[in-house]
Structure 1
């Protein structure tokens, strides 16, 4: 049996996933606690590594910059206490460079656009405090997405494109 509080938390978690694809800044302010931490931001830009709505909104912009038609299909959502888990699929088309960063927030790898669609299964875990998300973790099928986009195994031509794209990205950051 679902309580009103449990249903509300599930609704907020699902809204936060859809906000990644098409939410505006105000949506993120209403969903994320000022101290919210994203435990999944190791490859994301430095602007995504800050707490609260600022970091999560930066992650959304990063995802949107690399993909067109970004959307999420929600398959299941469950809650227990202050934790909510949402099983979903992220869909899009790889239309622009996807820049990955290392632990020192330096450009590590750049995947030039392939123009290919992808569908990546994901499970997102949220912890709530004061009615807003305070922690987020995710398990994603990154390897499956990489295979769909032709990142692995890379062709020699794609490896050259990656090196050139990385050089351009590093120049923009410097």
Structure 2
């Protein structure tokens, strides 16, 4: 079994690949071909589905940057609190470009086997992102 330090390093490496906007060889090295994304719905299967989602995010937010805030490792799983930010310059989730900058919290629970990502679940603050994009109004002070 991998050590907690090794798994945290793998999680950091995944973030580096995202920040480099590289869905080629580094993603192939770090993610198994039959990778399973538990959430979001609509993502295609396997590593190719993950690459497609990331490519769509890079197109919608060309300056996308992912920052890990906190990491907890247990057994073969890594839980991370992260923030991603970027400027909305292309369609995303059916929303045409707004030109607005967003900063979105995301929580991920990833499972690794033999040094590679095999499964992930991500929960993002989609409501907060929609407010920042001007799609829904901010909550009123009540």
TM-score category (smaller protein)? 0.7 to 0.9
* Cross-structure match for 1:31: 30
| 2:124 pairs with one of 140, 143, 150 | 140
Secondary structure of the structure 2 residue equivalent to 1:56: helix
Determine if the alignment matches structure 1 residue 66 to structure 2 residue 50.
no
Note if contact 2:8-2:71 (Cα within 8 Å) is conserved in structure 1. Answer: yes
Q: Equivalents in 1 of 2:133, 2:8: separation in Å?
A: 31
* Cross-structure match for 2:4: 6
Aligned length: 136
Q: Equivalents in 2 of 1:112, 1:25: separation in Å?
A: 27
Q: Hey, which bits of structure 1, 4+ residues long, moved more than 6 A?
A: none
* Cross-structure match for 1:168: none
Q: Equivalents in 2 of 1:41, 1:8: separation in Å?
A: 27
Uncovered stretches (5+) of structure 2, i.e. residues with no partner: 138-142
Determine if the alignment matches structure 1 residue 152 to structure 2 residue 136.
yes
Q: How does 1:13-92 map to 2 (within 5 A)?
A: 13-21=11-19, 22-43=21-42, 48-51=43-46, 53-92=47-86
Uncovered stretches (5+) of structure 1, i.e. residues with no partner: 101-109, 154-174
Instruction: Name whichever structure is richer in helix by fraction.
Output: 1
Note if contact 2:40-2:122 (Cα within 8 Å) is conserved in structure 1. Answer: no
Change in CA separation of 1:143 and 1:18 when aligned onto 2, cut-off 3 Å = farther
- CA RMSD in angstroms comes to 1.7
Q: How far has the Cα of 1:18 moved from its partner? A: 3.3
Determine if the alignment matches structure 1 residue 93 to structure 2 residue 100.
no
Q: Which of 1 and 2 has greater Rg?
A: 1
Please give the TM-score of this superposition, normalised by the length of structure 2: 0.88
Q: Equivalents in 1 of 2:84, 2:110: separation in Å?
A: 17
Q: Equivalents in 2 of 1:31, 1:83: separation in Å?
A: 15
Please give the TM-score of this superposition, normalised by the length of structure 1: 0.72
